[in-house]
Amino acid sequence: MDNLEIKKRAELWLGPDFDEETRARVKELFNNNKELADSFYKDLEFGTGGLRGIMGAGTNRMNKYTVGMATQGLANYLKKQFPAKSLSAAVAYDCRNNSPFFAKVVASVFSANGIKVHLFSSLRPTPELSFAVRYLQCNTGVMITASHNPKEYNGYKAYWDDGAQVTSPHDINIIEEVNGIKSVRDVNFEANPELIVTVGEDIDKIYLEKLKSLSISPEAIEKHSDIKIVYTPLHGTGVKLVPEFLNNLGFRNIIHVPEQDVTDGNFPTVTSPNPEESSALTLALKKAQDENADLVMATDPDADRVGIAVRNDKGELQLLNGNQTAAILTCYCLENLSRQKKLKGNEYIVRTVVTTHLLTTMAKHYGVEIFDVLTGFKYIAEIIRENEGKKTFICGGEESYGFLIGDFVRDKDAVISCGMIAEVAAWAKENGQSLYDLLLDIYCRFGLHEEKLLSITKKGKEGLEEIKEMMKNYRNNPPKEIAGSKVITIVDYLAKQQIDVITGISTPINQHQSNVLQFFTQDGTVVSVRPSGTEPKIKYYFELQSDMKNKADYKTILSRLNDKYRTILNELKIEN
């Protein structure tokens, strides 16, 4: 889109259909061509879960009008999908700036279209919204959140009637409905208060009771209820339910980080409210040192992901990545269900294609089926939906710190994850171990897997074009070797094919189409690359592996794998 077209799009926002504050902001944008272009060069699109963008005026920004148009499009689609039904929706929101306002906009538009709305009375975790959609038998749900993005962002996650984020064909069809709305005049913003019902603690209690029923070793919790756990919600929604759930399970020594219990969309104590980033846990780690705590847990603003730190063999606090946490939780579930003879042969777990292959090895060991899906928890939920009533879902995870146990919720859930991590710590203590010991045991049994994630930000319109060219180059000029090992398989999820490099034979793969490339080498190294679906980033995932016979060998082998990682970065000319 050229500058003239962008200006024409922006001029429409100076008309009487837009409020005075919006018109004033758009006028200011005309003094900054770059910001004007970024604000209007495209419409916000549904990515891996809905809308997400910087807040402000413009078609490519989160504001009353883009949220209203998305909701009107969703409402129009619901009426076509359920023509003979009385429709209902659940709406929740997180701690971000403008989240309550956007939630009210969504509720207003839904109700104006004759759709009953169950609107949460205050901020709630994303997984509870997923639960509420199912429990209240709603046709849809909307969560106002931008997860772990910087404070300038907000977002809109759309859910279907099974409590999962919308997938194909619904996501595409909703976009078509939204695109069919050519003017904000097509949006009915006038709320029908009679159709808006407030919900809150009643749903909380039912949700937490359901999660408690998933506990595997309550006797271990009872014996070790005094484990010292530092928990921080990073200014987000976890403060509402995570401490309460830990208490409900029986843990009595929950230590807070008071300044981060304060709900604040500006996230004043962190650079980024992302538990993947070590800096986000700085205050919690300090508190754990001061209190000599056993375990640290931090949830992101909408409490669907959790980062943890455990005591290592020297008694020092050590951060674990999402793959390591997923491995511990998966192994705990499979090992104990096996011991309790609850594995009947129809159980399964799910991993995303960029998550550690440790989960694959574990599933094979315990005789449990495993499904591989694209990045995005909605694809894990899709597998649960397809197998409902036929097979039993145990757990599923992704490397980006998201995990789910049980199928009451159809999205990643940091509330159940925090509870289960604490339970594993109690179980380990009952067996004379720590969580760190359990991790090293997993490596000895199933192989040491060292995973790395490198995200490179490319901002604005120019950045998106650069990422597109990078992906094109990887397809046209794939690496022949990685760290001295031949590339033997290439999986291209955009072309939906797996290429045997040795024979040159291509085989179709049964997956959704996505702009993801994976390179597998002879020695088991995996390099994956994809553009982010929610941020202006290109992401690289590295998985390196080695046999490990003894715990004492861990650091030596890890050092060797880290050297290999640096070699790969140099060979592939990847910025670090």
Same domain, 275 and 314: yes
Please give the residue that has the higher pLDDT: either 455 or 560. Answer: 560
Same domain, 232 and 192: no
CA pair distance 285, 293, nearest whole angstrom: 9
Q: Is residue 22 part of a domain?
A: no
Q: Which amino acid is at 75?
A: A
Residue where a domain terminates, one of 160, 175, 199: 199
In this prediction, residues 258-275 reach a mean pLDDT of: 96
pLDDT above 60 (res 548) = yes
The confidence score (pLDDT) of residue 47 equals: 58
Number of structural domains the chain divides into: 3
Confidence of residue 459 (pLDDT cuts 50, 70, 90): confident
DSSP secondary-structure letter at 400? T
Q: What percent of the chain has pLDDT above 90?
A: 89
Same domain, 188 and 289: no
In this prediction, residues 387-405 reach a mean pLDDT of: 97
As beta bridge partners, residue 567 has none
Residue numbers of the domain that contains 536: 449-571
pLDDT above 90 (res 450) = yes
CA pair distance 354, 375, nearest whole angstrom: 7
pLDDT above 80 (res 51) = yes
Same domain, 432 and 467: no
> pLDDT by residue (tens digit) across 151-182?
999 999 999 999 999 988 898 888 888 888 88
Same domain, 422 and 457: no
> pLDDT by residue (tens digit) across 403-422?
999 999 999 999 999 999 99
- Statement: the pTM of the whole predicted model exceeds 0.85: yes
**Mean pLDDT of all residues belonging to the chain:** 95
Same domain, 392 and 497: no
Confidence of residue 243 (pLDDT cuts 50, 70, 90): very high
The confidence score (pLDDT) of residue 244 equals: 98
The confidence score (pLDDT) of residue 282 equals: 98
CA 516, 411, 210 angle in degrees (round to 5)? 155
Contact 40, 9 (CB under 8 A): yes
Q: Is residue 251 part of a domain?
A: yes
Same domain, 482 and 410: no
The confidence score (pLDDT) of residue 46 equals: 63
Dihedral (Cα; 416, 422, 426, 428), 10-degree rounding: 90
Decide if 147 is catalytic: yes
The confidence score (pLDDT) of residue 534 equals: 63
Same domain, 352 and 380: yes
Contact 67, 105 (CB under 8 A): yes
The confidence score (pLDDT) of residue 439 equals: 98
Residue where a domain terminates, one of 446, 475, 510: 446
Q: Is residue 377 part of a domain?
A: yes
| Residue 499, helix vs strand vs coil | strand
In this prediction, residues 460-476 reach a mean pLDDT of: 91
Given 147, 217, 400, 434, the catalytic residue: 147
The residue among 189, 203, 209 whose CA lies nearest residue 92 is 203
Same domain, 192 and 301: no
DSSP secondary-structure letter at 165? B
Q: Is residue 20 part of a domain?
A: no
Residue where a domain terminates, one of 199, 232, 263: 199
> pLDDT by residue (tens digit) across 34-46?
999 999 998 877 6
The residue among 349, 350, 243, 253 whose CA lies nearest residue 299 is 243
The residue among 235, 288, 280, 240 whose CA lies nearest residue 261 is 235
Q: Is residue 108 part of a domain?
A: yes
Same domain, 440 and 459: no
Same domain, 468 and 516: yes
Q: Is residue 365 part of a domain?
A: yes
> pLDDT by residue (tens digit) across 196-238?
999 999 999 999 999 999 999 999 999 999 999 999 999 999 9
In this prediction, residues 523-532 reach a mean pLDDT of: 95
Alpha helices in 82-167 (DSSP H): 99-112, 126-135
In this prediction, residues 262-277 reach a mean pLDDT of: 96
Alpha helices in 310-408 (DSSP H): 322-339, 358-366, 377-387
Structure tokens at 196: 């808006």
Dihedral (Cα; 516, 520, 525, 527), 10-degree rounding: -20
Q: What is the CATH number of the domain that holds 189?
A: 3.40.120.10
Q: Is residue 529 part of a domain?
A: yes
Q: What is the CATH number of the domain that holds 483?
A: 3.30.310
Contacts of 166 (CB under 8 A, 6+ apart): 46, 50, 158, 159, 160, 174, 378
> pLDDT by residue (tens digit) across 317-367?
999 999 999 999 999 999 999 999 999 999 999 999 999 999 999 999 999
Structure tokens at 149: 């993005």
Dihedral (Cα; 531, 407, 304, 88), 10-degree rounding: 90
Q: What percent of the chain has pLDDT above 70?
A: 99
DSSP secondary-structure letter at 194? G
Q: Is residue 370 part of a domain?
A: yes
| Residue 153, helix vs strand vs coil | strand
The confidence score (pLDDT) of residue 221 equals: 98
In this prediction, residues 436-460 reach a mean pLDDT of: 95
Same domain, 180 and 265: no
Sheet bearing 369-373, strands edge to edge: 369-373, 347-352, 392-398, 402-405
The confidence score (pLDDT) of residue 2 equals: 80
CA pair distance 518, 530, nearest whole angstrom: 9
The confidence score (pLDDT) of residue 216 equals: 97
